[in-house]
Amino acid sequence: MESAPVIIIADDHPLFRDALTQAVNASLAGVYIEQACDIASLQRGVEKHPNANLILLDLHMPGAHGFSGLIYLSAHHPEIPVIVVSAHESSDIICRAMDHGASGFLPKSSSMQDITEAISQVLAGELWLPVNFDRECAGSSQEEMNMAGILSTLTPQQFRVATMLAQGLLNKQIAYELNVTEATIKAHITEIFRKLGVHSRTQAVIAIGQLDVLAPGNEQLHSR
């Protein structure tokens, strides 16, 4: 049993991880911080600390596909609250994040005071949202929520294969990255296709693409 509070900071930018580390240390005394720079290291982090108190999650880490990282955490580690920390600031993106299980949302432009307040509130079991959040936002489409539901049924290894598949990696490349045989990857892909209800890699990529998050400033182009 871990005696100190454990916070996992998942972001691919070292400088921003350092900034969040400073904010966490200012919020909590004696906290242990585990850092992750991609989805693979995030998975290892939560397996190492299944009783972590909080995860601060960037949406655009290597290995993530839109909201896929958040969906993975909500499915496999629902007891750990997650604050999404993102360059996106539109209410629709925030709505979608909350739909997929986030306990809070921090724009990367947030002040140190806001970050500290958000961490404190979420650790106390409350939700935290930016003051300019529009609660009348559209949120996720039914198709997106259906895809999230399917993605949540994938095992951790199937999830990694699916995200690599969505990035365009070949079976032999995925096998190399995961240190398994191509036959194992083919078996995983067969099961992924079955769960997604598709018959080709292209169809799988299009299906998972429903979870995409567009570049900041272009969120209004997201079709629902």
Q: What is the pLDDT of residue 9?
A: 97
Q: What is the pLDDT of residue 218?
A: 47
End-to-end Cα, the chain, rounded Å: 44
Element (H, E) at 7: strand 6-10
pLDDT averaged per 10 residues, the chain (length 224): 82 91 87 94 94 94 88 95 91 92 93 90 94 80 90 93 90 95 97 95 90 57 38
CA distances for 153 relative to 65, 146, 173, 186, angstroms:
16, 11, 24, 18
Residues 78, 101: Cα–Cα separation, whole Å: 8
Q: What is the pLDDT of residue 214?
A: 59
Element (H, E) at 206: helix 201-208
Structure tokens of 72?
Answer: 């993975």
Angle of helix 142-151 relative to helix 91-99, nearest 10 degrees, comes to 40
Supply the pTM of this predicted model: 0.87
Q: What is the pLDDT of residue 26?
A: 84
